[in-house]
């Protein structure tokens, strides 16, 4: 492993440990644990794995089917939590209990858990894209971790304790702040600057907190006004722009579309004509 990637070992990362498992059906898997420091490290890991597979083939005369990293990064799990005073929320006498109940339901219904986790990833995937990380890798790892017990589960948990709403998230985030195209894409550099992050662990914390905040926003909307209110306003804004609205009149057009409950391009165009007369 050291010979395959001397640089990562010299920097303090690299090979940590290994284990061998008999998977049945004639398959044996050699798992390696590798510290890639502040890089996501796919190329680093695959380089080491291919070198190890060559060693296994030559020294043990074993047939190696493939050598590849796993996106299920159980050693890169991040936990974050929040404590919310319900007095700051609408429907403050019941909303914290309703959010906790919605969380409980997600734990018993995989159909709900799927959409619950999709909401978590709305925020995280956007952040991954902005910071030059592999969104598909993070998504795959998160959903695999959600199902690691054998039943698909939510990545967050909400409950009431001492009349406060407590939220917790536990999610694998094998991401990076260096490597790949991160050093050459100006917008990625800008994202890092805005966030004030240097290390991968900093970004992991931000991502986990963002996922938890996004999940709270969705559950709060669901248990109060309903999710459609926010979605329809965003849809109305897109329709208004499609109809030809400008920055100066967009809010007026959106208000008209929402209030008339007729969010169509034709309605937006007719209204634009009426206010231009």
CATH classification of the domain holding 268 = 1.10.8.660
Contact 120, 169 (CB under 8 A): yes
Residue 65, domain member (yes or no): no
- As a whole number, mean pLDDT of residues 14-33 equals 95
Percent of the chain having pLDDT more than 70?
A: 99
pLDDT at position 249: 93
CA atoms 106, 218, 130, 171: torsion sign: negative
Percent of the chain having pLDDT more than 90?
A: 84
Across the chain, how many H-helices and E-strands are there? 10, 5
- As a whole number, mean pLDDT of residues 208-231 equals 89
Task: Say whether both 222 and 233 belong to one domain.
Answer: no
Task: Say whether both 84 and 208 belong to one domain.
Answer: yes
pLDDT over 90 at 110, yes or no: yes
pLDDT digits (tens, 9 = 90+) for 138-147: 999 999 999 9
What's the burial of 167, exposed, middle or buried (CB within 10 Å: 0-12/13-18/19+)? Answer: buried
Higher pLDDT, 165 or 56: 165
Say how far apart CA 176 and CA 221 lie, in whole Å: 32
Number of domain units in the chain = 3
pLDDT at position 277: 64
Task: Say whether both 219 and 234 belong to one domain.
Answer: no
Task: Say whether both 89 and 221 belong to one domain.
Answer: yes
247 phi/psi in degrees, rounded to 5 = -60, -30
Burial string for 71-100 (b: 16+ CB within 10 Å, else e) reads bbbeebebebeeebebeebeeeeebbbbbb
Task: Say whether both 168 and 42 belong to one domain.
Answer: no
Say how far apart CA 216 and CA 252 lie, in whole Å: 29
Residues for the chain: how many in total? 277
- As a whole number, mean pLDDT of residues 102-117 equals 98
Domain housing 236: 229-276
């Amino acid at each position: 492993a050291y010979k395959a990637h001397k640089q990562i070992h010299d920097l303090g990362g690299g090979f940590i440990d290994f284990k061998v498992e008999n998977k049945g059906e004639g398959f044996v898997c050699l798992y390696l644990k590798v510290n890639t420091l502040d890089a996501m490290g796919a190329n680093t890991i695959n380089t080491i794995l291919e070198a190890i597979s060559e060693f296994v083939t030559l020294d043990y005369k074993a047939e190696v089917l493939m050598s590849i990293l796993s996106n299920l990064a159980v050693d890169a799990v991040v936990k974050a939590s929040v404590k919310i005073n319900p007095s700051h929320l609408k429907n403050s006498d019941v909303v914290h209990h309703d959010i906790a109940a919605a969380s409980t339901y997600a734990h018993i219904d995989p159909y709900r858990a799927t959409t619950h986790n999709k909401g978590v990833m709305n925020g995280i995937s956007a952040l991954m894209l902005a910071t030059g990380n592999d969104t598909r890798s993070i998504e795959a790892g998160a959903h695999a971790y959600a199902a690691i017990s054998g039943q698909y589960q939510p990545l967050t948990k909400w409950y009431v304790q001492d009349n406060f709403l407590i939220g917790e998230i536990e999610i694998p985030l094998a991401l990076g702040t260096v490597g790949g195209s991160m050093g050459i894409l100006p917008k990625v550099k800008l994202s890092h600057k805005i966030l004030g992050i240097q290390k991968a662990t900093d970004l992991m914390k931000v991502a986990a907190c963002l996922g938890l905040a996004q999940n709270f926003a969705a559950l709060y909307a669901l248990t109060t006004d309903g999710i459609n209110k926010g979605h329809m306003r965003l849809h109305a804004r897109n329709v208004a722009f499609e109809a030809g609205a400008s920055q100066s009149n967009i809010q007026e057009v959106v208000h008209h579309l929402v209030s008339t409950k007729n969010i169509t391009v034709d309605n937006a165009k007719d209204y634009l004509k009426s206010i231009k007369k």
